[in-house]
Structure 1
Amino acid sequence: MKIGLETESYHLLFQNGRMDIFGFIKKTAELGMDGVMINIIKDKNLDPNWGTLGSAEPKHLEQVRDEIRKYGLFAEIDTRTTDPEHLTKIIEVAHKIGADVIRTYCCIGGYNKEALEKAPEEIKKIVPLLTKYRIKLAVENHEEEIADEVIDIIKKVNSPWVGAHCDIGNSMMAWEEPIDAVRKLAPYAFTTHFKDHIIIKDEDKYMVCGVPAGTGNINTEECFKILVQESKLTRINIEMCYPYVAPFKREPGTGGVKKVGEGAFKVEELPFEYNVIKPKDYYYPEGDLLEMMIEAQEKGVEQSVKYVLALRDKYCR
């Protein structure tokens, strides 16, 4: 099993000019990883069209491809929406840098039933291009979507080039037990986001909070075991979402879980002192807090990598 790293794992460094795509590729190799997953979604201080990739200029893409090859890494791309015009551009860029899997998701800015309903017909329009370049499209359970909704889209498209992106933590925002979501998505999975979460209470509101892999309340070892034994995956990608918080996106019970308190949904203490930094500021810290959170993120990546490599040693060798 190859282990990759998603650029989101270093989102603070990217957003604050401390890392670019070339630095990320090199760092991934230094950590002993096998591949990179490049998030091209717009974010603070990043290219509005190409995110952490930085540009789609031919020379830049050639340099990115060469850097990936230099370290012998695989490459994947993370994007969003099922708009055929957008996905066509992404597929072309993926081909140019040697990426063979593209992650996308349907709902943006909240649950959108219409987006889920139109997704199959939109995706069908780009299947010929996926086939031409031998690139797979993976539909993610991205906070709003439960596993059954993703599987429904895959079945309606009915193409060997369209499958699932299994995020082992995102199901929680839709009130779905992570192990249940992973077990459902595993047979369809083309790629993954491997992460860990806890539940915290911010004043009177419960939130899903990212933590380094192996330190939270998701049964990450069981999730890893399921992905190894019940899928055809040859790669698992770490997405270290820390520091990070997200609200619940669906109504309680949507994914089968009705309230917080047990298992993956156990409520824990805040990872940082509330009088130092509030959860709403975790993702975009400023001033002196930025340095503190960058240090936490870098340590979290190292911790997550060590943990996942140990799981690989246990279940894949």
Structure 2
Amino acid sequence: MTGFRIGQDIKLEATYGPPPWKDLFDALRQTKEAGLEGVNVRTLYEVSPTLDRALLADAAELARELDLYLELGVGKVNPYMTAEYPHIRALGEGGYLEGMRRLVLAAAEMGVTELWTATGGFKPRYRGLHATDRFRAEAPWPDQLAATAALLHRLAPVLRDTGVHLNLETHEEITTFELVRLVEDVGPDVLGICFDSANVAVRGEDPMAAVRRVAPYVRSTQLRDAALCFTADGISRFLAPCGEGVIDWALLLGELADRAPVRNLTIEAIGGLRAEMTLHPYDDAWRAGHPDLTVAELAGLFRLTRVYEASGRPGLEELRHGTQPTFAGFTAACAAHLRTVLTERETRP
């Protein structure tokens, strides 16, 4: 298990409230002071909306001076949602694909070859199935996947030329089955997977089964735990620090150590809320929208929910309305638990 470095996800935009740092330079210094070993900056255009090469070079140099790994993100790759990212189209002077290409080139010039991306997003203002892009009313999910694959094929040449991997997150709208097919279709030489350990449960997947499916392609991570509770609508997933949910971290980290190319373990902390997302396993449309999901795996998630509810940890009402973790507290708890699990595995006879 040696060789892993533990870092944190950095958002410079106020996605979930004001970020705890004023810019990337401040975030890098705070990361070092916290005893962490690297960062994944969610989107490169947050660092510099104009891709100022001098500023980006200075940021990369500071990461090297501090001996921190640096990973970046380049926005979403689902053509049905590109209107939600006008800044990428602006970078391409009217072309979203060109904007993405320029982001890849800028990252490569910084020496960063592992880039985050995703295929959709969560829409908390909508309830039920329409809370994720998987169930966009105007576009069946298979059409969205086909369009995403086409865009990725068009990005593949610049990825190959620069030696960059675009790592698709196990985001809340897509399954691990679909991600593996995308990677194998476009090519694992240019695509990888960013494994978000808590998101897979939103699609009805057992986190341990999910990591086994994707492990050979995991090149980056967004690590946190999942708390699961039964609700009137089905099952709700809440975010929790590593070790405070349903995930078997010894098994998960063992899978990554044995089968994945990843060596940077990035924590995606969240402060001030638990990001409740609901599964709808009793809904016919929800079940039909998951053709790869087996009854056995969904039953396993029900079992994990029962185990969590019997554990004495915060229940539904406390997760929804109780005291919420701070960003720093969430990160510190995750890092401590990951280090404990790694140390135990390394010292095991």
Q: TM-score range by the shorter chain?
A: 0.7 to 0.9
Which residue pairs with 2:327 in the alignment? 297
SS at match of 2:195: strand
Q: Where in structure 2 are there 5+ consecutive unaligned residues?
A: 80-96, 122-131, 135-140, 281-285
Quote the Cα distance in structure 2 between the aligned partners of 1:14 and 1:168. Answer: 19
Which residue pairs with 2:277 in the alignment? 247
Which residue pairs with 2:128 in the alignment? none
Choose the corresponding residue for 1:67, options 54, 62, 65. 62
Choose 152-161 or 240-249, whichever is displaced more: 240-249
Quote the Cα distance in structure 1 between the aligned partners of 2:238 and 2:263. Answer: 28
Amino acid aligned to 1:196: D
Quote the Cα distance in structure 2 between the aligned partners of 1:89 and 1:244. Answer: 35
More helix by share: 2
Which residue pairs with 2:21 in the alignment? 19
Tell me by how many angstroms 1:258 deviates.
3.8
Which residue pairs with 1:45 in the alignment? none
What is the percent sequence identity of the aligned residues? 17
Quote the Cα distance in structure 1 between the aligned partners of 2:41 and 2:234. Answer: 32
Amino acid aligned to 2:119: C
Tell me by how many angstroms 1:228 deviates.
0.6
Q: In 2, are the aligned partners of 1:168 and 1:195 still within 8 Å (CA)?
A: yes
Amino acid aligned to 1:67: L
CA separation of 1:131 and 1:228: change in aligned 2, threshold 3 A:
same
Q: Where in structure 1 are there 5+ consecutive unaligned residues?
A: 41-48, 283-291
Which residue pairs with 1:99 in the alignment? 112
Q: In 2, are the aligned partners of 1:191 and 1:235 still within 8 Å (CA)?
A: yes
Amino acid aligned to 1:19: W
Amino acid aligned to 1:310: T
Quote the Cα distance in structure 1 between the aligned partners of 2:65 and 2:224. Answer: 27
Quote the Cα distance in structure 2 between the aligned partners of 1:222 and 1:68. Answer: 31
SS at match of 2:278: coil
Choose the corresponding residue for 2:38, options 35, 39, 54. 35
Query: What TM-score, normalized to structure 1?
Result: 0.80
Q: In 2, are the aligned partners of 1:110 and 1:249 still within 8 Å (CA)?
A: no
Choose 121-130 or 202-211, whichever is displaced more: 202-211
CA separation of 1:161 and 1:272: change in aligned 2, threshold 3 A:
same
Q: In 2, are the aligned partners of 1:200 and 1:207 still within 8 Å (CA)?
A: yes
Which residue pairs with 2:77 in the alignment? 81
Which residue pairs with 1:135 in the alignment? 164
Tell me by how many angstroms 1:267 deviates.
5.2
Q: Which whole-Å deviations, capped at 9, do the CAs of 1:254-291 have from their partners, x for residues lacking one?
A: 3334466422575547849959x945xx9xxxxxxxxx
How many pairs does the alignment contain? Answer: 294
Quote the Cα distance in structure 2 between the aligned partners of 1:241 and 1:271. Answer: 17
Tell me by how many angstroms 1:124 deviates.
1.7
- Over the aligned positions, Cα root-mean-square deviation in angstroms equals 3.1
Q: In 2, are the aligned partners of 1:142 and 1:171 still within 8 Å (CA)?
A: yes
Asked if residue 307 in structure 1 is aligned to residue 337 in structure 2, the reply is yes
Tell me by how many angstroms 1:128 deviates.
2.0
Quote the Cα distance in structure 2 between the aligned partners of 1:125 and 1:115. Answer: 16
Quote the Cα distance in structure 2 between the aligned partners of 1:24 and 1:187. Answer: 31
Q: Which whole-Å deviations, capped at 9, do the CAs of 1:226-274 have from their partners, x for residues lacking one?
A: 1111222222222124533232367258333446642257554784995
SS at match of 2:6: strand
Q: In 2, are the aligned partners of 1:219 and 1:264 still within 8 Å (CA)?
A: no
Which residue pairs with 1:176 in the alignment? 205
SS at match of 1:199: strand
Q: Which whole-Å deviations, capped at 9, do the CAs of 1:53-93 have from their partners, x for residues lacking one?
A: 35433333233222212212121123322553342132123
Quote the Cα distance in structure 1 between the aligned partners of 2:162 and 2:238. Answer: 37
CA separation of 1:246 and 1:11: change in aligned 2, threshold 3 A:
farther
Choose the corresponding residue for 1:198, options 227, 232, 244. 227
Quote the Cα distance in structure 1 between the aligned partners of 2:342 and 2:166. Answer: 25
Query: What TM-score, normalized to structure 2?
Result: 0.73
Asked if residue 189 in structure 1 is aligned to residue 218 in structure 2, the reply is yes
Which residue pairs with 1:110 in the alignment? 133
